[in-house]
Amino acid sequence: MIRKSDVLGWLSSVQHPGQGDKSIVSLGLVQDIEITENSVKVVLAFPKKPDPLKQYLVGAARAAVYRNAPGGVEVEVESIVKEPASSAPKPLEFNLEQLRNVAHIIGIASGKGGVGKSTVAVNLAVALARLGYKVGLADADVYGPSIPTMTGTEGIDIQMIGATDDQNLFVPVEKYGVKWLSVGHVTPPGQALIWRGPMASTALKQIVLQTDWGVLDYLLIDMPPGTGDIHISLIGDVPMTGAVIVTTPQEVALADVLRGVNMFRNPQVNKPIYGLIENMSWFTPAEHPEEKYYLFGKDGGASMAKKLDIPLLGQIPLVQSIRESGDDGEPAALGSRPDSMAFLDLARKLAESV
Ligand SMILES: Nc1ncnc2c1ncn2[C@@H]1O[C@H](COP(=O)(O)OP(=O)(O)OP(=O)(O)O)[C@@H](O)[C@H]1O
Ligand SMILES: [Mg+2]
């Protein structure tokens, strides 16, 4: 079956000669795509101002889809006129429409930075997909989005699709069976770091709420490190079903874990915590796979989980291949090494806990 993202890809080869050869997709002209077993229907929405190239673009769009679709598929391209949005700029209004078909929305949080939250989130997403679930991951880390690098999707041109007359939606990137969208995908490198306060909040809400996620079993949200205002605002606006906390076994991380847990257990929020993941539990050198060195202490996360009455979902060792696969954009959970299996185990436990 043809996917919407395929059709968008084909349509992005159709350029508008009157608008600096930008593609009809990036110009936001694609209003709707309907796909059935043997037909594809595309609706292009043009501004009220007459566009002399309209007929040409409709024809070119039809040809682009026809050329790429399997034989026998009927192709129809319709053009409509977009009603102008009211002239006063409207404040961005978010609704929860795009999350309608998402069964579970899980925040991946940590009190402390650098504990491997993004690494765990990416590998958990890939592992859940390997188990057959439909999975998406929203990288809401406005200060240091790392998902594009960890998934080898940096620099990818994110497409937009029109949902209503005045709202365009991001189309997430699909790779390794997961739909990814990061603040880093939609901003020039370096810019994410300068966002503060309300702008940062808006940006990360857009990533979650203004995206065409489609039907998902799990949408994971890689939250920014810490427990500040931006987290409270995210938790307030996104209907998360629950959370997972990532920590290292260190004693000093305990206070941060407690803060993270309280953020979700606070009576006004009151979301379940599906579990704690202890990362960097021990170090195992590649050449001595049977040895374990407890660099950050032993079972710190496990005892925290017990103390806080949260299930321990798993312990992930510190191994060079996990770091390397993150840097190379090929998540460790894709493979069949022991550390890949650890992530699959984690995914199974999470699905059970949810
Ligand atoms: N289990 C592991 N084994 C080896 N390296 C790891 C492991 N977990 C994380 N790392 C490495 O540690 C570094 C930090 O990890 P990561 O970016 O996932 O942390 P984070 O908690 O998301 O950080 P931030 O707070 O900046 O968002 C990365 O270079 C990553 O590859
Ligand atoms: Mg991170």
Q: What is the pLDDT of residue 288?
A: 86
Going by pLDDT thresholds of 50, 70 and 90, the confidence category of residue 124 is very high
Query: Contact, 213 vs 96, CB < 8 A?
Result: no
Separation of CA 122 and ligand 2 centre (Å): 10
Helix (H, G, I), strand (E, B) or coil at 338: helix
Q: Which residue's CA lies nearest to atom 30 of ligand 1?
A: 323
- DSSP string for residues in 229-251: HHHHHHHHHS---EEEEEE-S-G
Task: State the chain's maximal CA–CA distance in angstroms.
Answer: 71
The better pLDDT of the pair 141, 189 is held by 141
Q: Is residue 230 part of a domain?
A: yes
Residue to mutate (ligand 1; options 323, 324, 341; most atoms within 8 A of CB): 323
Among candidates 253, 125, 294, which has minimal Cα distance to 245? 253
Q: Which domain holds residue 122?
A: 97-353
Going by pLDDT thresholds of 50, 70 and 90, the confidence category of residue 88 is very low
How crowded is residue 272: how many other Cβ atoms within 10 Å of its Cβ?
15
Q: Is residue 90 part of a domain?
A: no
Which residues, at least 6 apart from 253, have a Cβ–Cβ distance to it below 8 Å? 111, 112, 115, 247, 300
- Residue reference for tokens 């407690």: 258
Q: Please tell me whether residues 226 and 126 are part of one structural domain.
A: yes
Of the three residues 49, 81, 113, the one that is the final residue of a domain is 81
Separation of CA 250 and ligand 1 centre (Å): 15
Query: Around ion ligand 2, which residues have CB less than 5 A away?
Result: 118, 146
Q: Please tell me whether residues 101 and 63 are part of one structural domain.
A: no
CA-to-CA distance for 235 and 238, rounded, in angstroms? 6
pLDDT of residue 64 exceeding 80 = yes
Q: Is residue 184 part of a domain?
A: yes
Q: Please tell me whether residues 75 and 107 are part of one structural domain.
A: no
Kindly give the number of the ligand 1 atom that is closest to the alpha carbon of 318: 3
- Structural domain count of the chain: 2
CA-to-CA distance for 193 and 183, rounded, in angstroms? 11
Helix (H, G, I), strand (E, B) or coil at 283: strand
Q: Please tell me whether residues 55 and 179 are part of one structural domain.
A: no
Which residues, at least 6 apart from 327, have a Cβ–Cβ distance to it below 8 Å? 149
What letter would DSSP give residue 8? Answer: H
pLDDT of residue 18 exceeding 90 = no
CATH of residue 31's domain is 3.30.300.130
For the stretch 171-197, pLDDT in tens is: 999 999 999 999 888 876 666 555 666
Q: What is the pLDDT of residue 219?
A: 98
Going by pLDDT thresholds of 50, 70 and 90, the confidence category of residue 201 is confident
pLDDT of residue 224 exceeding 60 = yes
pLDDT of residue 254 exceeding 50 = yes
Of the three residues 46, 81, 116, the one that is the final residue of a domain is 81
Going by pLDDT thresholds of 50, 70 and 90, the confidence category of residue 237 is confident
Tokens of 135: 């999975």
CA-to-CA distance for 309 and 319, rounded, in angstroms? 28
Among candidates 118, 153, 104, which has minimal Cα distance to 316? 118
Looking at this protein, which amino acid is placed at residue 211? Answer: T
Stretch 88-108: mean pLDDT, rounded? 77
Stretch 289-301: mean pLDDT, rounded? 87
Q: What is the pLDDT of residue 189?
A: 65
Q: Which residue's CA lies nearest to atom 25 of ligand 1?
A: 113
Query: Within 6 Å (CB) of ligand 1, which residues are found?
Result: 110, 113-119, 141, 144, 146, 225, 279-280, 316, 318-319, 322-323, 326
Q: What is the pTM of this model?
A: 0.76
Separation of CA 142 and ligand 2 centre (Å): 10
Q: Please tell me whether residues 30 and 142 are part of one structural domain.
A: no
Going by pLDDT thresholds of 50, 70 and 90, the confidence category of residue 89 is very low
Among candidates 345, 344, 338, 302, which has minimal Cα distance to 320? 338
For the stretch 40-56, pLDDT in tens is: 999 999 988 888 899 99
Q: Please tell me whether residues 137 and 237 are part of one structural domain.
A: yes
pLDDT of residue 91 exceeding 50 = no
Q: Please tell me whether residues 135 and 240 are part of one structural domain.
A: yes
Would you state the torsion angle of the CA atoms of residues 92, 96, 97, 102, taken in this order, to the nearest 10 degrees?
140
Residues composing the chain: 354
Q: Please tell me whether residues 175 and 266 are part of one structural domain.
A: yes
Stretch 262-273: mean pLDDT, rounded? 90
Q: Please tell me whether residues 69 and 124 are part of one structural domain.
A: no
CA-to-CA distance for 110 and 96, rounded, in angstroms? 25
Separation of CA 326 and ligand 2 centre (Å): 11
Q: Is residue 265 part of a domain?
A: yes
Q: Is residue 200 part of a domain?
A: yes
* Helix axis angle, 254-265 to 229-237, nearest 10°: 40
Going by pLDDT thresholds of 50, 70 and 90, the confidence category of residue 337 is confident
Kindly give the number of the ligand 1 atom that is closest to the alpha carbon of 112: 25
pLDDT of residue 253 exceeding 80 = no
Of the chain, the end-to-end C-alpha distance in Å amounts to 30
Residue to mutate (ligand 1; options 112, 118, 204, 278; most atoms within 8 A of CB): 118
Q: Is residue 91 part of a domain?
A: no
Backbone angles phi, psi at 265, to 5 degrees: -90, -10
pLDDT of residue 251 exceeding 60 = yes
Of the three residues 25, 57, 81, the one that is the final residue of a domain is 81
Kindly give the number of the ligand 1 atom that is closest to the alpha carbon of 113: 25
Q: Is residue 92 part of a domain?
A: no
Helix (H, G, I), strand (E, B) or coil at 131: coil
pLDDT of residue 155 exceeding 50 = yes
Q: Please tell me whether residues 236 and 131 are part of one structural domain.
A: yes
Q: If you average pLDDT over every residue of the chain, what do you get? A: 88
Q: Which residue's CA lies nearest to atom 15 of ligand 1?
A: 116
Q: Which of 98-107, 159-168, 209-218, 297-306 has the lowest mean pLDDT?
A: 159-168
Going by pLDDT thresholds of 50, 70 and 90, the confidence category of residue 204 is confident
Stretch 233-255: mean pLDDT, rounded? 88
CATH of residue 305's domain is 3.40.50.300
Kindly give the number of the ligand 1 atom that is closest to the alpha carbon of 146: 17
Q: Please tell me whether residues 170 and 63 are part of one structural domain.
A: no
Among candidates 175, 183, 184, which has minimal Cα distance to 210? 183
Kindly give the number of the ligand 1 atom that is closest to the alpha carbon of 222: 22
CA-to-CA distance for 239 and 277, rounded, in angstroms? 22
CA-to-CA distance for 102 and 135, rounded, in angstroms? 9
Q: Please tell me whether residues 136 and 281 are part of one structural domain.
A: yes
Which residues, at least 6 apart from 335, have a Cβ–Cβ distance to it below 8 Å? 325
The better pLDDT of the pair 98, 191 is held by 98
Q: Is residue 347 part of a domain?
A: yes
CA-to-CA distance for 134 and 107, rounded, in angstroms? 16
Separation of CA 57 and ligand 2 centre (Å): 42
Ligand nearest the Cα atom of residue 279: 1
